[in-house]
Amino acid sequence: MNEKIRMMYSEAQVDARIRELGAAISADLDGEEVHLVCVLKGASFFACELAKRMTVPVYMDFMCVSSYGNDTRSSGEVRIVKDLDTSVEGKHVLIAEDIIDSGNTLHFLLEEFRKRGAADVKICALLSKPDRREADVTADYIGYVIPDVFVVGYGLDYAQKYRNLPYIGVLDI
Ligand code: IMP
Ligand code: MG
């Protein structure tokens, strides 16, 4: 339990970046309502802040998925733990995710929402670690591209800890 956390992006920096993302997404949506899907639990802080910075009508929905496999390596198989409340058929879906690592989670969700008949599916991720990619997934909006480090805070956890840190930090174990 000698974990040290090094600040990577301060609360003010993250806040400013989310405002930029919200403005860019709103401009692209041009008044259309969006079905904002928050991927629990990691994206909860990000999705709520992003929703606050969007100027189009936002319908918020929540989904919880988990990947089979051990803690450090996902197996690529994703399972729905909690599904959305509402159908996405004909909707403009925007998935809010905390971080894209292997890309397996988002690859699964993209396929799933397309199968369900969404009008279109876009991805907004607060963070992306492209060096770790296994699945072919490209996000439409990314907060920060980061190297292969383990980050916590702003919703991201290490064994369920540190989600509530108001900034993004690198965990040195
Ligand atoms: P993927 O399916 O491998 O892209 O996994 C994405 C999920 O892994 C994220 O939603 C996070 O919950 C978790 N994850 C990946 N990298 C990190 C990290 O650096 N810190 C905390 N969680 C992470
Ligand atoms: Mg997650």
- Predicted local confidence at residue 77, as pLDDT: 87
For the segment 152-164, the average pLDDT, to the nearest whole number, is 97
Catalytic residues: 101
Which of 152, 75, 144, 146 shows the shortest CA–CA distance to 108?
Answer: 75
Rounded distance between C-alpha atoms, residue 102 and residue 167, angstroms: 23
Q: Is 110 exposed, middle or buried (0-12, 13-18, 19+ CB in 10 A)?
A: buried
Ligand nearest to the CA of 64: 2
Coil, strand or helix: which one is 149?
A: coil
Distance 89 CA to ligand 2 centre (A): 24
Closest C-alpha to ligand 1, atom 8 = 101
Does pLDDT of 1 surpass 80? no
Query: What pLDDT score was predicted for residue 133?
Result: 95
- Fill in the amino acid letter for 14: V
Weakest-pLDDT range from 36-50, 67-81, 141-155: 67-81
Q: Which residues surround ligand 2, an ion (CB under 5 A)?
A: 42
Find the 114 Cα to ligand 1 centroid distance in Å: 22
Q: Please report, rounded to a whole number, the percentage of residues in the chain having pLDDT higher than 90.
A: 91
Question: Is the pLDDT score of 135 beyond 70?
Answer: yes
pLDDT digits (tens, 9 = 90+) for 64-90: 999 876 555 556 789 999 999 999 999
**Domain locations along the chain:** 4-172
Mean pLDDT of 118-128: 98
For residue 139, the CA-to-ligand 1 centroid distance in Å is 15
Atom of ligand 1 nearest to the CA of 158: 21
Residue 107 alpha carbon, nearest atom of ligand 1: 2
What would be the CATH architecture of the domain defined by 4-172?
3-Layer(aba) Sandwich (3.40)
pLDDT in tens, 2-35: 789 999 999 999 999 999 999 999 999 999 999 9
Quick one: angle between helices 11-29 and 44-52, nearest 10? Answer: 60
- Measuring from each residue's beta carbon to the nearest atom of ligand 1, which residues come in under 6 Å? 42, 67, 74, 97-105, 150-152, 156
Q: What is the CB neighbour count within 10 angstroms for residue 42?
A: 21
Give φ, ψ of 108 to 5 degrees. Answer: -60, -45
Distance CA 25, CA 44 (A): 18
